[in-house]
Amino acid sequence: MSERANLLDFTLPALTEWLAAHGEKAFRARQLFQWIHQRGVADFDAMTDLAKSLREKLKGIAEVRPPAVLSEHRSADGTVKWLFDVGAGRGSKSNAIETVFIPEDDRGTLCVSSQVGCALDCKFCSTGRQGFNRDLGAGEIIGQLWVANRRLEEMEREGFSSRLEPDEPRVSSLASRSPRPVSNVVMMGMGEPLNNFQPVVDAMSMMLDDLAYGLSRRRVTLSTSGVVPNIRKLAEALPVALAVSLHAPNDEIRSRIMPVNDAYPIEELLQACREYLEVSPRDFITFEYVMLEGVNDAPEQAHELARLLESVPSKVNLIPFNAFPDSGFARTDMARVRRFQQILLDAGYIATVRKTRGDDIDAACGQLAGQVVNRMKKKYVRIQSQPGH
């Protein structure tokens, strides 16, 4: 007997086509899609407006199979981290990815992984230190959101709030929170999203679909280290909010800490960003900048960064470095971070300092490591541009 189809793998058009091949009409795909994603239901018997014959048919040929949760950790600040098993049936049970939910007073943000590990080997990132195993499928990507919404709703009922109110204790407030715990998604977990292009685009299209999660393009952010040809492909396929991991004011420093810069130097990257703004749902690009003591945090480097970004409407997000064993880097003193920030503010930029969240459960930025059986560890190379890109 062939393996049952995982319905989390299907966008609505793909689900419509799949059901048509099984003799079902298009409106059944819309119903099924809503049950799975809007309502978070996996049991076909509970899908009461589907014909009983279809429910019985689905039991034999399909399932809703999210990645299995290996562990769940809750931080003192309300952050939740899940470790998902993505190794079963693929030759190794050692592969696992991490997903993090960050509650704020006005939103709930889910940080989603796109690959098992990462091939880019950024020197300050613990994920890159582990190497790369494989890309995630669309169902494994959207499955992180599917599980997170279900678990957070269960936790709400247990008294754990998925929203933090300023200066208030964390208590359950079902009446005041948004209909779904996750209101924002950032593709900033393990992996380089643009190196797993089509599954990431398919998963994000499900996030945006009004029959699924109904998120706006402004509330879905893709973070990239700067894979230039695929930034241009994303602009054509599904322009969402864009964040770029810059982390340096010049090519010399960036190439030292981010090998991808050898393939796509800063000026090429900024040109792609300028082009992306023509279709972006936001009128600026967010540039992520991790503060590394003695590497990229000097006042003169802040001035250099301000000059570099003059031609790109920008928001700069300064990130305190989160240490991990044998990283070789140290966190910049907060007073020095604030001085760096003030230089950017004085130059007219929006410049924020990211609040460290979930570091007591290793869920902070740059700490996601999961469990990765490394299959590739090599220098990053240029992608050959396809015609039209």
Torsions phi, psi of 337, nearest 5?
-60, -45
165 is catalytic: no
Catalytic, 122? Answer no
Place of tokens 């300023």: 166
Q: Please state, in angstroms and as integers, the Cα–Cα distance from residue 293 to each residue in 33, 254, 286, 290, following that order.
A: 49, 14, 22, 10
Instruction: Specify whether the backbone of 189 is left (phi greater than 0), alpha (psi in -120 to 50) or beta.
Output: beta
Backbone angles phi, psi at 144, to 5 degrees: -65, -40
Q: Which of 24, 98, 192, 288 is catalytic?
A: 98
C-alpha span between 42 and 150 (Å, rounded): 11
Cα 188 from Cα 318, distance rounded (Å) = 15
Instruction: Give residue for tokens 């977990």.
Output: 189
| Among 111, 118, 125, 365, the one annotated catalytic | 365
Give every CB contact of residue 54 below 8 A, 6+ residues apart in sequence: 24, 28
Name which of 220, 154, 234 is nearest 188 in CA terms: 220
For residues 148 and 140, give the distance between their C-alpha atoms in angstroms, rounded to a whole number: 12
Q: Which residues are annotated as catalytic?
A: 98, 365
